[in-house]
Amino acid sequence: MNYMWATVIVIICTGMAALLHPFFNISDLALVYLPGIVLVASRFGRGPSVLASCLSVLALNFFFTQPYFTLFVENPRVVLTLVVILLVALVISTLTTRTHEQADAAQRAAVQVETERLRNSLLSSVSHDLRTPLAVVTGALSSTLEGWQMLDDLTRIDLIQNAYDESERLSRLLTNLLEMTRLEAGGLTVRKEWQPMEEVVGAALTRLESRLRDRLISVDLPPDLPLVPLDAVLIEQVLLNLLENALKYTPTDAPISISAVAVGTPQPTCIQVTVADRGLGLMPGDERSIFEKFNRGTLPSGGGTGLGLTICQGIVCVHGGQIWAERRSEGGAAFMFTLPISGVPPRVDLEPEPRREEDFA
Amino acid sequence: MSSPQQTILLIEDELPIRRFLRTSLIGNGYHLVEAVTGREGVQMTATVQPDCIILDLGLPDMDGLEVVRTLRGWTQTPIIVLTARGQEQDKIALLDAGTDDYLTKPFGVGELLARIRAALRRSSQAQPELRDLLFQVGQLRVDLAMRQVFIDDDEVHLTPIEYRLLSTLVHHAGKVVTQHQLLREVWGPEYAGAVHYVRVYMQHLRHKLEADPARPAYFITEPGVGYRLRAD
């Protein structure tokens, strides 16, 4: 394939040289071929560029030296010119290929350094984030065990509850880490199916039930919201992460709202989901940076890995949607994401065949 | 509580998990026998004849799916599987192979006991004359004999498909039912592949029977797997 491109480029150069031939001599025409050879060398590597060099000299010889349309050359000076052109072409192609390879190697090295840096910061971040809840679990349980006689029931329950809450946090941290690893390794399989958004929102709220019990949550999903092709497990994770952030960064009496609207007329082209809170909001400039890995924003940290939003972004991206954050003018933060409605929605024939049983309606 | 001294077979190779389940299950009045490998578990199922089996998937000697298939070759004893998160396709395969239910690690004892109760209830229902014809959870009441559905004392009118979907879930109350199983049992084989029907009609049920359809109290979604009608 690459050799074919080399040949094609030489043919194009020959065409251009033919147009210029009446006005220039052989060594000037050779200059027309050199950019072609550089192009082949930089794009297709060494072999094709050597082929292009040889073909160029043969073409010069065949079409543009007297006698025309033979490979025979009368004038010894022209022979010398052709040999020099061949050498120059070969040197240029070698140099270009080498520069190109070095650039590639430099880029690979840079990526490696970056990966290494990320791995180190991941390790230090992870070991810190895992150790904190683990320390609470160990501490709370050991005080309960060792001080059993001295402690009253309420204190014991409080300590055990504390250990339990922290072990749940540990589990959530691990889930996010695992998800991140899968996203990065490209090992995330997306199983999109047409579903109502309400069901995914419901699943996320059910999973967070115990932690949302004392919170004011409003859900606003229009009844005519169309079905959306999505992976329920992954989009649930997006909602979980957004809701957990809202829980973590807002006072307990601040309301949280979830809403969705269909966008586009006459047929909706996507739906936009919003998770908004009335907490401290975002600092100016944080709207973008909070989506970066290990970034927890400039406000006091809620003790996460700083991976939640990065995961959200990754998942929304593989769905072909977008995610962004806004500061609400009346206070608080809002996180929005879109999910495109691509393809033809499946038909739903309501109540198609109720013959075996009588209708209760 | 269910009748005393029902036997549970725990097939689990991790000692800490066995230890924690031992305390919890014996503390809740069950008789517990333990197996450490898949092969041992299969043998003990034959000799002990437990009322319920709890099977961990990460056994050293046999794949969990293989254990389930082996057992289902000759026994209908309820099987509850302990799995890790994020393996929805595996869960579906296990349920299709005859697993009754699953629990995702880490889990609380409350969840496990609810699953065991639901599994034991269903296996005692194997004889149809014992089947309860009245189902009740929270404010939802389903009279299977009269085919009537109530929220508190108000009758709710369902369409035939909605009622069939509800009664299928009631029949499996407390247990997860896959979307394809619901599609097969409610719509029939000619609808295979039209999974969105299940989702659309589940939404109808929620809008008719849940106080807040977006925060369901009865019709729980298990994302990527199926649905569960809360039983207690």
**Do residue B160 and residue A167 have CB atoms under 8 angstroms apart?**
no
pLDDT per residue over A296-350, tens digit each? 665 555 556 677 888 898 889 889 999 999 988 888 889 999 999 988 888 887 7
Chain B interface with A: residues with Cβ < 8 Å: 85-86, 88, 106, 147, 157-161, 163-164, 194-197, 199-200, 202-203, 206-207, 212-216, 220-224
A-B Cβ pairs (cutoff 8 Å, strict): 91
CB of B158 closer than 8 Å to CB of B166: yes
The pLDDT value given to residue A21: 82
CB of A231 closer than 8 Å to CB of A319: yes
State the nearest Cα–Cα gap between B220 and chain A, in angstroms. Answer: 7
Chain A interface with B: residues with Cβ < 8 Å: 167-168, 171, 175, 178-179, 191, 193-196, 198-203, 205-206, 217, 219, 221, 223, 227, 231-233, 236, 258, 346, 348, 351, 354, 356-361
CA distance B33 to B45: 10
State the nearest Cα–Cα gap between B42 and chain A, in angstroms. Answer: 32
Q: Across the interface, which of B85, B161, B202 has its CB nearest the CB of A199?
A: B202
The pLDDT value given to residue A316: 92
Query: Inter-axis angle of helices A2-20 and A46-64, to 10 degrees?
Result: 30
Q: Across the interface, which of B86, B194, B203 has its CB nearest the CB of A346?
A: B194
Which residue, among B168, B179, B200, B230, would best test binding to A if mutated, counting the most A CBs under 10 Å from its CB? B200
Question: A54 in helix, strand or coil?
Answer: helix
Q: Using alpha carbons only, how large is chain A's radius of gyration in Å?
A: 33
pLDDT per residue over A62-93, tens digit each? 888 878 888 877 777 778 888 887 888 788 88
**Do residue A357 and residue B164 have CB atoms under 8 angstroms apart?**
yes
- Domain at A193-340, CATH class: alpha beta
Q: What is the mean pLDDT of residues B196-225?
A: 93
Write the CB contacts of A37 (distance below 8 Å, at least 6 apart in sequence).
Answer: A49, A52, A53, A56, A89, A92, A93, A96
**Do residue B223 and residue A201 have CB atoms under 8 angstroms apart?**
no
CA distance A150 to A140: 14
pTM of the model: 0.71
Q: What is the mean pLDDT of residues A226-243?
A: 92
**Do residue B195 and residue A358 have CB atoms under 8 angstroms apart?**
no
Q: Across the interface, which of B86, B159, B207 has its CB nearest the CB of A178?
A: B86
Task: Map out the domains of chain A as residue ranges.
Answer: 2-107, 193-340
CB of A288 closer than 8 Å to CB of A353: no
Residue B3 has pLDDT above 90, yes or no: no
CA distance A355 to B171: 22
Q: Across the interface, which of B147, B161, B203 has its CB nearest the CB of A199?
A: B203
State the nearest Cα–Cα gap between A357 and chain B, in angstroms. Answer: 7
The pLDDT value given to residue B2: 45
What is this model's ipTM?
A: 0.83
CA distance B56 to B38: 9
B125: confidence class by pLDDT, cuts 50, 70, 90: low
Q: What is the mean pLDDT of residues A271-280?
A: 90
Which residue, A135, A200, A131, A125, is CA-closest to A162?
Answer: A135
Residue A117 has pLDDT above 80, yes or no: no
Write the CB contacts of B107 (distance below 8 Å, at least 6 apart in sequence).
Answer: B82
CB of A235 closer than 8 Å to CB of A319: yes
State the nearest Cα–Cα gap between A302 and chain B, in angstroms. Answer: 23
| Measured CA distances, B117 to B4, B111, B114, B174 (Å) | 12, 10, 5, 9
Chain A CB contacts of B159 below 8 Å: 351, 354, 359-361
Average pLDDT, chain B: 89
CA distance A87 to A37: 12
Q: What is the mean pLDDT of residues B88-99?
A: 90
